[in-house]
Amino acid sequence: MAIFDVITERKRTQDALQLSESRFRLLSGTAGRLLASQNPQAIVEELCRQVMQHLDCQVFFNFMVDDIMGKLHLNACAGIPEEEARKIEWLDYGVAVCGCAARDGVRIVAEDIFNSPDIRTELVKSYGVQAYACHPLEVQGKCVGTLSFGTKTRTSFSAEELALMKTVADQVATAMEKLSLVDELRNSRDQLELRVRERTAELKAYMAKLEQSNQALQDFASIAAHDMKEPLRKVIAFGSMLSQKYEDPLGETGNDYLNRMLGATERMQSLLAGLLDYSRVTTASKPFKEVDLSDIIGEVISDLEVRIVRTGGEVHIGTLPVISADPTQMRQLFQNLIGNALKFHKPGEKPTVRVSSECNEDSGCEIVVEDNGTGFDEQYREKIFAPFQRYHARSEYEGTGMGLAICKKIVERHGVSITAKSTPGAGSQFIVTLPVRSRMN
């Protein structure tokens, strides 16, 4: 009997692990599709059908707020006849479950509907739904629509199923508002890793395999970025061939759509490259050795020669120390800092960059990269070092918002710090503090 109990418990644990991993794959795939799409609202139906299948649900509804009409408009649905869908194409606030969820901005979970006196459930009850959960799609405190799922075979949902629905609803809301695709990727990744770590902690006593699973999930960002590079290359390659060979048949509108698609794909490729570089700061690091920063920055200036010539910029290098560091990462650090200084220059003014150092035995060495560029408001000083954060709009300056995040991760790996001083329109100073063991040439 004891052996049977052990086998039963092990089987239960294995099933729980497989369910957790399946939900992780579903959510990460959903997040990826929404982030990659330039029109996330158009792919909601396809993604929600996947969620329906995973949750064993038979219906879903996605309503979007129409501010002009002052009503909810049915964007996508499944599980009801087309003629029924046409009847609810427009829904008033406060009508049925979805109208109430949108009006009040709160999730509504209706269970055992056939035995419920709640008049809000009459509409879904007519479709044979026994349990129904409706989530408001909120962005910055404003409801922009609802996303709901219903089952005809059960009278209730589990807490994990409701959490999954909420996560999907949050992803859809953020994507539809088009805040920042990369911000959504980062937030979704963090939420997913947190949930998987929590699940791993619960099951760790039963299965040693969970530790390996947890490590794999921690590497999710690096693996996802790496594995998506090749499909993106194919999209760009075939899209370019389509543009070259079928430009006339596609017409002006078709070519515009195609160019937008290619532009979005190339931006996603740059984002993935930045994400991969960010993850490699620790996974692809090299041992420390003696590094002459004068030589390193000399190589950086050589690499940036084209940009320096194009902008008419100048880079002045002072006396710099020899330090113990990873030479590749030091080169990456100063290439990002000097490259940014050249990039964010004021229109009509040639960029000037100065790299200097000041060392003493008490506080160590400070390497300062100073420019005469656009500058920034210091209230955003911490934010600019976070992954995927941009101070300037993409239309003003190119970039993915990963450069300074990589710089911060590099200096943290070296046990040092980086900060910045700036005033809008008056240039910036980026200060890297190195330990006392550094020595001057």
* CATH number of the domain bearing residue 70: 3.30.450.40
Q: For residues 411 and 414, give the distance between their C-alpha atoms in angstroms, rounded to a whole number.
A: 5
Query: What is residue 110's predicted lDDT score, i.e. its pLDDT?
Result: 94
**Last residue of one domain, picked from the residues 283, 315, 330:** 283
- Average of per-residue pLDDT values in the chain: 77
441 Cβ neighbours under 8 A, 6+ residues apart: 292, 294, 319, 320, 321, 322
Task: Identify whether residues 34 and 73 lie together within a single domain.
Answer: yes
Output phi, psi for 146, to 5 deg. Answer: -140, 155
> Under DSSP, is residue 136 helix (H, G, I), strand (E, B) or coil?
strand
Task: Identify whether residues 40 and 115 lie together within a single domain.
Answer: yes
Sign of the Cα pseudo-torsion (375, 376, 381, 387, in order): negative
Secondary structure of 51-89 in the HEC alphabet? HHHHHCCCEEEEEEEECCCCEEEEEEEECCCHHHHHHCC
Cα 177 to Cα 145, 225, 253: the distances in Å are 11, 24, 24
Confidence of residue 83 (pLDDT cuts 50, 70, 90): very high
pTM of the predicted model, to two decimals? 0.41
Kindly report, residue by residue over 301-354, the tens digit of the pLDDT: 888 888 888 888 888 888 888 888 888 888 888 888 888 888 877 887 888 889
Domain around 372? 289-440
Range list of β-strands (E), 107-254: 108-110, 131-139, 142-151
Task: Identify whether residues 202 and 348 lie together within a single domain.
Answer: no
Task: Identify whether residues 121 and 228 lie together within a single domain.
Answer: no
Task: Identify whether residues 349 and 379 lie together within a single domain.
Answer: yes
Kindly report, residue by residue over 352-400, the tens digit of the pLDDT: 889 888 877 666 788 888 888 888 887 777 777 777 665 555 545 565 6
Task: Identify whether residues 293 and 279 lie together within a single domain.
Answer: no
Query: What is residue 202's predicted lDDT score, i.e. its pLDDT?
Result: 66
Of the CA atoms within 13 Å of residue 392, those in its CB half-sphere come to 18
Task: Identify whether residues 156 and 265 lie together within a single domain.
Answer: no
Q: Please give the average per-residue pLDDT across 229-234, as a whole number.
A: 67
Output phi, psi for 45, to 5 deg. Answer: -60, -45
The dihedral formed by the CA atoms of 75, 76, 82 and 83, expressed in degrees to the nearest 10: -40
Q: State the CB neighbour count (10 A cutoff) for residue 281.
A: 21
Task: Identify whether residues 208 and 240 lie together within a single domain.
Answer: no
Angle at 158 between CA 154 and CA 161, to 5 degrees: 100
Give yes or no for a contact between 343 and 397, defined as CB atoms under 8 angstroms apart: yes
Residue 293 belongs to a domain with what CATH number?
A: 3.30.565.10
Output phi, psi for 438, to 5 deg. Answer: -65, 150
Kindly report, residue by residue over 153-188, the tens digit of the pLDDT: 999 999 988 988 888 888 877 777 664 444 555 666
Q: State the CB neighbour count (10 A cutoff) for residue 328.
A: 14
Task: Identify whether residues 199 and 232 lie together within a single domain.
Answer: no
Q: Please give the average per-residue pLDDT across 88-110, as a whole number.
A: 94
Q: Which residues of 204-218 are buried (b: 16+ CB within 10 A; e: fewer)?
A: eebbeebeebbeebe
Q: 33: buried, middle or exposed (CB in 10 Å: 19+, 13-18, 0-12)?
A: middle
**Residue where the block lists tokens 């590079």:** 229
**Last residue of one domain, picked from the residues 188, 214, 240:** 214
Q: For residues 400 and 423, give the distance between their C-alpha atoms in angstroms, rounded to a whole number.
A: 23
Task: Identify whether residues 226 and 332 lie together within a single domain.
Answer: no
Q: How many domains does the chain fold into? A: 3
Task: Identify whether residues 391 and 268 lie together within a single domain.
Answer: no
Tokens for 410? 């590099």
Q: Please give the average per-residue pLDDT across 70-77, as a whole number.
A: 92
Task: Identify whether residues 294 and 183 lie together within a single domain.
Answer: no
Output phi, psi for 13, to 5 deg. Answer: -65, -45
Q: State the CB neighbour count (10 A cutoff) for residue 415.
A: 8
**Last residue of one domain, picked from the residues 170, 188, 214:** 214
Query: What is residue 155's predicted lDDT score, i.e. its pLDDT?
Result: 95
